[in-house]
């Protein structure tokens, strides 16, 4: 007889948590009880999951009693404090924060790339990668298996939702503030002045206007001018693919898109690779959709990818001046595969371990 494990969703009321509940309601039902957990101010709310209203519980040690798997989508400091508590109560934690990603005793898992690592968890915790890394890693994993990836140069075009609900709200506020004024964007600083006039000193998660603009900065400041997002692309790609000496350089850019990250990828391989071979390998990859028809100007865009689960790949080209090198453009919903979906997929891997005969 098979037992369905008990699942806790911690951070159920957040932007990613909301998507998690939708995903849990549409995927194969492998769970018994699903508990919804959030901060004390959200306790008592009722949210819909699997067609049923479930009351949100306040985060406390006792909510993990009897829980087999706990999916966390909370700030790093909250995960750092509460994930070990959940483990002490018997749960396997699948954490979407950055608190444990580079811990050598915590696997960083993408089910299509390194599923076996989900069973190697000495601390009882499995980490979900950063959404920017996740946007491209399914495609790169499929290519690496055959041609051995050696170098990676990436420019990301990251949606406002990567900064959470405040990012989404700020982008909409800015778009509303500049809408209808066709004189803007013609003089240096005019967009900034228009936003200051209409939005005043309202706080923004972005260091520059995002409407009618792109901002070459995502994440927090790190040494030597790098951002946290850029270093995550480097460090997490190495760990997921198992290439500790992979050469990586990333530039992360925020763009005026609500949801779905895009990346322009320059990938160098150890073995000779052709565009046709790469396309065939990507078509065979179960979570990748190839949209690549230059004659008809068909390629992935965020507006055509948002709200869906696959990784979309197009603009496949052999680099003109670099041997064994592919150029490709990738899009993926950063709230779904980039966060909630991958977390749910990892949790489902763990759920199979709780089958009892």
Catalytic residue numbers?
131, 261
Chain-centre distance for alpha carbon 148? 24
Collect all residues with Cβ–Cβ distance below 8 Å to 113 and sequence separation of at least 6: 137, 138, 141, 240, 241
3 state SS for 208-254 = CCCCCCCECCCCCECHHHCEHHHHHHHHHHHHHHCCCCCEEEEEEEE
**By the 8 A CB rule, do 234 and 227 touch?**
no
Dmax (CA) for the chain in angstroms is 71
C-alpha torsion 107→112→113→119, nearest 10: 30
- HSE, CB side, 13 Å, CA atoms: give it for residue 219: 23
Collect all residues with Cβ–Cβ distance below 8 Å to 296 and sequence separation of at least 6: none
Tell me the residue length of the chain: 357
Collect all residues with Cβ–Cβ distance below 8 Å to 69 and sequence separation of at least 6: 5, 6, 7, 8, 91, 92, 93, 94, 347, 350, 351
**By the 8 A CB rule, do 268 and 325 touch?**
yes
- HSE, CB side, 13 Å, CA atoms: give it for residue 269: 22
Which residue(s) pair with 8 in the sheet? 35, 70
Collect all residues with Cβ–Cβ distance below 8 Å to 304 and sequence separation of at least 6: 291, 312, 331
How far is the CA of 234 from the CAs of 135, 171, 227, 228, in angstroms? Answer: 14, 28, 11, 10
């Amino acid at each position: 007889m098979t037992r369905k494990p008990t699942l806790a969703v911690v951070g159920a009321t957040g932007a990613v948590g909301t998507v998690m509940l939708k995903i849990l309601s549409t995927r194969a039902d492998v769970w018994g009880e699903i508990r919804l957990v959030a901060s004390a101010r959200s306790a008592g709310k009722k949210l819909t999951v699997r067609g049923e209203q479930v009351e949100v519980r306040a985060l406390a040690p006792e909510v993990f009693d009897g829980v087999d798997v706990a999916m966390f989508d909370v700030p790093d400091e909250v995960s750092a404090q509460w994930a070990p508590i959940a483990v002490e109560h018997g749960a396997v934690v699948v954490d979407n924060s950055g608190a444990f990603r580079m811990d050598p005793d915590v696997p960083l898992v993408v089910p299509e790339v390194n599923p076996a690592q989900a069973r190697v968890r000495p601390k009882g915790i499995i980490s979900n990668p950063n959404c920017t890394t996740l946007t491209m890693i399914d495609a790169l994993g499929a290519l690496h298996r055959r041609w051995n990836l050696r170098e990676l140069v990436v420019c990301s075009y990251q949606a406002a939702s990567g900064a959470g609900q405040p990012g989404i709200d700020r982008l909409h506020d800015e778009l509303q503030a500049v809408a209808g004024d066709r004189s803007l964007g013609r003089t240096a600083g005019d967009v900034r002045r228009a936003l200051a006039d209409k939005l005043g000193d309202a706080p923004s998660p972005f260091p520059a206007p995002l409407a009618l603009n792109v901002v070459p900065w995502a994440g927090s400041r790190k040494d030597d001018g790098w951002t946290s997002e850029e270093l995550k692309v480097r460090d997490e790609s190495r760990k997921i693919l198992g290439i500790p000496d992979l050469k990586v350089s990333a530039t992360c850019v925020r763009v005026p898109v609500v949801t779905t990250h895009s990346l322009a990828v320059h990938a160098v391989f150890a073995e000779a690779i052709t565009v046709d071979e790469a396309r065939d390998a990507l078509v065979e990859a179960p979570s990748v959709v190839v949209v690549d028809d230059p004659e008809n100007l068909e390629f992935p865009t965020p507006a055509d990818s948002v709200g869906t689960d696959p990784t979309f790949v197009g603009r496949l080209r052999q680099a003109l001046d670099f041997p064994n090198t592919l150029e490709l453009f990738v899009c993926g919903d950063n709230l779904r595969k980039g966060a909630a979906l991958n977390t749910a997929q990892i949790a489902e891997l763990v759920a199979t371990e709780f089958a009892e005969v």
